[in-house]
Amino acid sequence: MSKQKIILIAVVVILLAGNVFLGCNYFYAQKQLQIIDQRLKVQQRNIEIATFTKLFIDKVLKAETEVSFEDRLKLENAVRDLNDDNVLKQWEKFTSSKTEPEAQEAVKNLLDVLVEKFLY
């Protein structure tokens, strides 16, 4: 074999190895990007849940007087923005409570659901 053929084969092998290496890195980066995207969605969801929980604590649990219509509207919009059937169901149980013990039980259940959503 001539020297030129050996050099050509070496260059082709190097280029092929480079393509394989870069291809593997590309697929690894794609996988990492998917993981990061998933974690970002979880973090954004947790922020939404924490924001609603803070609003609920400030406007309902710490309230000295009856919750204003404006605050009820904020809470209603915030709970609907979560797009979670379990949270919404517990919220509706709370808002439809007729007695204080019933409302207290609904608050406990609502906070429990919110914490579970935040942790998982």
In the prediction, which pLDDT does 1 show? 75
Question: Which sequence spans correspond to the domains of the chain?
Answer: 3-119
As to burial, measured by CB atoms within 10 angstroms (0-12 exposed, 13-18 middle, 19+ buried), residue 94 is buried
Is residue 61 within 8 Å of residue 70, measured between CB atoms? no
30-63, pLDDT tens digit by residue?
999 999 999 999 999 999 999 999 999 999 999 8
Is residue 92 within 8 Å of residue 109, measured between CB atoms? no
66-106, pLDDT tens digit by residue?
889 999 999 999 999 999 999 999 999 999 999 999 999 99
pLDDT at residue 119 is higher than 90:
no
pTM: 0.78
